[in-house]
Chain A
């Protein structure tokens, strides 16, 4: 997959987030915005969010990246993973405005943890690269349930109906996919 190689040699997004944390670096923020905001918007659109709200949520996600940059711990999650969890929580918020359920979800960025070790930081950036390549190698039926789970605002019963397969099969395909992803991570998991 060409994008995997691109990411391995591309900008170090984790370092950009840390640069925001350390120096309120607006240039680093602009670079992150350029890369992630259009992807977050794409993810929102796939989840059935209307285009205006998707644009807004992409901006809100990036605003949270700016505000929470000092909570980003590269030893716990890669940059895309961290930004994905922020986007996900904001989408949950948007679906119900009266409270802030994202604060009810354990936020990986907010749990105190021992300080990062250099090898762990490298491991987390490796993790994303390995998962991306493992995803591209999944058998189509396993990739399909993973994609449906992450991209469509659907519960498993709906996936079951849509694919015309029993819920047990959805569950076992997910389990098989997870086994492969875990195996790809090996010692990094």
Chain B
């Protein structure tokens, strides 16, 4: 049962295609678990469709249709390969770097993404804390397996954490299994060791 969801502002940016890629991947991971948010997304996408419909048309060049008709029988490009079969969609097609130790019992694996946000996987052992990011921008965390808890409650697989500004308590892994999350942030830098790792790894 999913208890924690992204804000409507985040889903709206996702629907509009303006959410930076790393954040969009975390949101997409949550969406793949959450029927409620898929419904909100479909309302937002229908809003996009309605706005598109009402836009004053801008004509294409006079021969645009003819040129297109000449290309229509070319085959479609193949979809990108699955790079990480062990991960759920949509993370299975993302290019990932290697695991880096970023503190006692915590490892970080950056994912390749473009745009104004960065992100990756975090694996933290029971009792350890997930790294807290700086709060210069949006930050999303989606749990892939097991759970962590912070001042907003307990986050299990599929739950998404979108902390506000007054959010300083680091999330602690609960239970007896390590917790795997996908995180993304448009904040400047991570704090502490993960911040150091991020600086030497680059984006």
Contact = CB atoms under 8 A, between A and B. Distances in A.
Given A59-B60, A63-B68, A174-B12, A42 B45 contact: no
Contact of B55 (A43, A156, A185): A43
Nearest to A182: B43
Contact of A155 (B18, B45, B48): B18
A39 B44 CA distance: 18
Contacts of A127: 46
Interface string B55-89: 11111110011011101100011011000000001
B60 A55 contact: yes
Given A63-B72, A181-B47, A106 B28 contact: yes
Contact of B17 (A67, A91, A135): A91
B1 interface: no
A95 B114 contact: yes
Interface string A30-44: 100110111111110
A142 to B, nearest CB: 12
A154 B72 CA distance: 33
Contacts of B8: 171, 174-175, 178
25 contacts: A26-B69, A41-B60, A42-B55, A43-B52, A43-B55, A59-B64, A63-B72, A66-B72, A81-B45, A83-B52, A84-B48, A84-B49, A84-B51, A96-B114, A100-B79, A104-B24, A104-B25, A104-B90, A105-B28, A105-B90, A146-B51, A150-B15, A155-B116, A174-B12, A181-B43
Interface size class of B (residues with CB under 8 A): 35 or more
Interface string A6-44: 010000000000000000001001100110111111110
B7 interface: yes
Given A39-B57, A81-B45, A105-B90, A131 B50 contact: yes
Interface residues of A, number: 75
A108 B46 CA distance: 12
- Tell me if A's interface is mostly helix, strand, loop or mixed: helix
Interface of B: 7-9, 12-13, 15-21, 24-25, 28, 31-32, 38-40, 42-61, 64-65, 67-69, 71-72, 76-77, 79-80, 89-90, 93-95, 112, 114-116, 137-138, 186
Nearest to B95: A99
Given A149-B18, A178-B40, A156 B13 contact: yes
A88 B28 contact: no
Contacts of B72: 29, 63, 66
B67 A38 contact: no
B51 to A, nearest CB: 5
Nearest to A158: B18
Contact of A171 (B9, B39, B52, B64): B9
B49 A147 contact: no
B79 to A, nearest CB: 5
